[in-house]
Structure 1
Amino acid sequence: MNPNVARLVEEIPPPADVRPKDWRQVESRLGTALPADYKQLVDLYGGGVFDDTIWLLEPDCANEHYDLLTKNKNRPEELEYLWATGEPKPAELHEEGSKLVAWAVTENGEYLFWLARSGQHPDDWTIMINEGRGPEWESHPVSCSEFLRSILLTGGVESDIFFDMPFEEHDFRASADFL
């Protein structure tokens, strides 16, 4: 198990009734491979919210607002529209073949993406965060599990968007609890 995932599991117990996904099918439908640590997180936790703040998107979530495939279906076109109407496009996205893949969201409208660069293995993707209702972006050269571990537990990643984290108490609530 990825050490960052293992640390999260130690500190924030996952639900007991999560079923692993058919990742070959999910990746085929999404049109891209996904990082191994993300797949471990979803296979252990399913979709849901960490510390009432960060919603881990899950493939085929019954709640479309937290479904990995739904969130990635129209988001590229929505971002292109914003950039075409004057919102600044992050420099990293001017690289040929780069794209964003959403993996988490917040209630405030922030999106947590992977920056997928052409020819780069998914386990090496960078985390990019777009603030909710604004043009600011942050880039963090870590995996999603390292980002979550750092933001939720240690404060090891500095973020202007998640400036008030980590919290004293931690929990995870499954998306299924909100249906």
Structure 2
Amino acid sequence: MDPPPAVDWAKAERALGTGLPADYKRLVGTYGAGIFDETVQLLVPDSAHDDFDLLALTAERDEILAGLWEYEDRPPGLEEAGARVLPWAAEEGTGAYLYWLARPGRHPDEWTVLYNEGRGPLWEHHDTGCLAFLLAVLTGTAETDYFGHLHEVLKPTRHRFTTAAETHGTPCAERA
């Protein structure tokens, strides 16, 4: 596997208006945009593939959730002034997202994970960072109502990471 493209973290953090967790930066620096075990789609700032672009999907999710929360209650933790969610991964093919719960006064390395089923109002909170949560999901040790089926169905002895380019091909801008 070729090394992933470098990310301009300063540019990404300016665009988001916040720093990002160190474990996420290490994850992106190691793998780049792509999918773990055909299920967890890792988002990356300025990905050449729209479905993996953290910045574009953050703007899209902010707009969608703002409309949703006019009719539904916000998940616990978001009642605090200045708290927000930022997507860092999606569940392939389901509309579900994994978010950081970014709370004021908390360093990004202290952010925890929220899972939203995507096509419903249920949110699940995990008191851990993104890398620890991803590892728990992939090893079947996550205490979750949503990802528990993965380990039972897949039972992988070896995990697979598929890059965005492998799943979506070369972006049009790179083909020219």
Select 1:91's aligned residue among 69, 76, 88: 76
User: 2:156 matched to 1:164?
Assistant: no
Deviations 1:80-124 (CA, angstroms, capped at 9, x unpaired)? 211212x23212111111000100012201010000000100000
Paired residue for 1:175?
A: 164
CA RMSD of aligned residues (A): 1.2
User: Greater CA deviation, 158-167 or 98-107?
Assistant: 158-167
Paired residue for 2:99?
A: 113
Q: Structure 1 residue 36: deviation in Å? A: 0.3
The alignment partner of 1:156 has SS state of coil
Instruction: Identify unmatched segments of 5+ residues in structure 1.
Output: 1-14
Paired residue for 1:40?
A: 26
Q: Structure 1 residue 144: deviation in Å? A: 0.4
The alignment partner of 1:147 has SS state of helix
Q: Structure 1 residue 18: deviation in Å? A: 1.5
Q: Distance in 2 between matches of 1:83 and 1:19?
A: 36
User: Greater CA deviation, 143-152 or 163-172?
Assistant: 163-172
Please say if residues 20 and 44 of structure 1, whose CA atoms lie closer than 8 Å, have aligned partners that are also in contact. no
Amino acid at match of 1:75: R
Where in structure 1 do 4 or more consecutive aligned residues deviate above 4 Å? none
Please say if residues 142 and 148 of structure 2, whose CA atoms lie closer than 8 Å, have aligned partners that are also in contact. no
The alignment partner of 2:162 has SS state of strand
User: 2:89 matched to 1:104?
Assistant: yes
Amino-acid identity (%): 45
Q: Structure 1 residue 17: deviation in Å? A: 2.6
Amino acid at match of 1:104: A
Deviations 1:16-53 (CA, angstroms, capped at 9, x unpaired)? 33233121121112211000010011111001000000
Length-normalised TM-score, structure 1: 0.86
Q: Distance in 1 between matches of 2:103 and 2:16?
A: 16
How many residue pairs end up in the alignment?
163
Paired residue for 1:76?
A: 62
Q: Structure 1 residue 176: deviation in Å? A: 1.4
Q: Structure 1 residue 54: deviation in Å? A: 0.5
Q: Distance in 1 between matches of 2:112 and 2:61?
A: 18
Paired residue for 1:128?
A: 114
Q: Distance in 2 between matches of 1:19 and 1:77?
A: 28
- Does the C-alpha gap of structure 1 residues 20 and 62 become closer, same or farther in structure 2, counting only changes over 3 Å? closer
Length-normalised TM-score, structure 2: 0.88
